[in-house]
Amino acid sequence: MSESRNVSIRVPVLARVEGEGALDLVIEQGDIKELRLRIFEPPRFFEKFLEGRHYAEVPDFVARICGICPVAYQVTAAQALETLFEIDIGPWARAMRRVFYCGEWIQSHSLHIHLLAAPDFFGCGNAIELAQIAPEEVRRGLRLQALGNELMELFGARSVHPVGVRVGGFHAAPPPERIHAMREKLAAALPEAEALVRWTAGIALPPDAQEFVSVALRHPVDYAIEHGEIAASDGLLIEAAAYPEHFVEHHEPHSTALFSSYQGRPYLVGPLARLNLNRDRLPDDVQALLAETGFALPSGNVFQSMLARAVEILLALREALRLLADYHAPASPWVDATPRAGVAVGGTEAPRGLLWHRYEIDTDGLVRNARIVPPTAQNQARIEADLRLSLLNFGLDHADDALRLHCEKVIRNYDPCISCATHFLRLNVSR
């Protein structure tokens, strides 16, 4: 194969990603001339039709941005509004929000590892093929995914667009018997999650070491899920409200999502960014398991995101068990909210990374203006940068099919959630 070969690869629909994206790669005379993750999922205009809605409707509305991570949207919105309204939801609701969120991490990460990402590393086109060569592993993955869903159902009655969250807490508290039964299931799943970590750690990955800034929430005590300040691997540590001062979005014509940058450069959010920043917040024995499997952090190999997800499944199971340890149903699962005019801001760690919301609320409790920055919009520039570096590292003289598969592998690592990325974003950026 000659160095000066011309290649044009167009993948019109990317398989095994959430939402609709495409890939364009053009190589001319041994040089990458064009390399794009094209996002063409149509915008759904969420921020726009939130205007004029009552604050209490917001959690049920924003859930519909994404079927795989509705909890992230609901909790982020509720917390932002609670902060503005100066409501203390109390220790029970705070703990249960975290448990609820753990359910979503377990579900989303298990789905991504087994149904979307892992087949690539075994030469399979999908999980059903993978189940023929790794039946136990796929079944274990589907069981963990189901357990994550059950944990969400405990608080939200269903796992896709759950109906349990309200501004002020939850609509209802699960009865203790159901919590006891759930604890047994969670405990039984711990060895499965450990085995999953070992299995993903054993999957041979392309070597890679890229330089990038990782961005994630960081909390003084906990591994950041639903709370923490925004941290970057260069030492930045800011409150959620200061996000727009440091992070900028712009639009490129090949995408219906906006690109984010930090100090003019792409950055990484998501499970690997979280582990890069918050490894010291993992329980000691989980850290020991990482050391045992040879998972060195911080890591510049984004292919390790799959392993990072496995580690976070284990962490989420442990957290849920810990927080449900001596469960008592509260006198009331919510506190009453009285709306106040002002700006509500909040951020949490959605399964795919930092999710940031901002709402302007008027004296009647109606939304005047909304802005939502989802994780995939933040990762989009990083995905394109990674594709370029990773392809050069892989070698451009591979056959077209191998190049295409390599690019797809890179993209799937990020678990891009294209449905999230392209709801409507307001450009309030001054330039």
Residues that bind another protein (CB under 8 A): 13-20, 40-46, 48-49, 53-54, 57, 60-61, 64-68, 70, 107, 111, 115-116, 119, 125-129, 131, 138-139, 142-143, 145-146, 149, 157-161, 163-164, 166, 171-172, 250-254, 256, 419, 424-427
d(CA 31, CA 131): 38
The one among 48, 64, 94, 198 contacting ligand SF4 by CB under 6 A: 64
Give me the DSSP letters along 46-91.
Answer: HHHHHTT-BGGGHHHHHHTT-SSSHHHHHHHHHHHHHHHTT---HH
| 172 forms part of the interface with ligand SF4 (CB under 6 A) | no
Question: Which of 61, 121 has the CB closer to another protein?
Answer: 61
Residues 224-283 close enough to bind ligand SF4 by CB under 6 A: none
- 27-38 burial, b if ≥16 CB within 10 A, otherwise e? beeeeeeebbbb
Sheet holding 7-11, edge to edge: 7-11, 21-28, 31-39
Q: Are 145 and 106 in contact (CB under 8 A)?
A: yes
| Least distance to another protein, CB of residue 296, Å | 31
| Least distance to another protein, CB of residue 46, Å | 8
Residue 409 is encoded by which pair of tokens? 């592998």
Binds 143, which of ligand SF4, another protein, none (CB < 5 to 8 A, cut-off by type)?
another protein
Q: Are 310 and 144 in contact (CB under 8 A)?
A: no
| 163 forms part of the interface with ligand SF4 (CB under 6 A) | yes
Question: Which of 116, 315 has the CB closer to ligand SF4?
Answer: 116
d(CA 254, CA 384): 12
Question: Which of 191, 253 has the CB closer to another protein?
Answer: 253
Q: How many CB atoms sit inside 10 A of residue 340's CB?
A: 16
Binds 191, which of another protein, ligand SF4, none (CB < 5 to 8 A, cut-off by type)?
none
| 67 forms part of the interface with ligand SF4 (CB under 6 A) | yes
Binds 302, which of another protein, ligand SF4, none (CB < 5 to 8 A, cut-off by type)?
none
Question: Which of 5, 250 has the CB closer to another protein?
Answer: 250
Q: Are 53 and 73 in contact (CB under 8 A)?
A: no
Helix residue ranges per DSSP H, 233-283: 243-246, 271-278
State the residues that interact with ligand SF4 by CB under 6 A.
64, 67, 160-161, 163
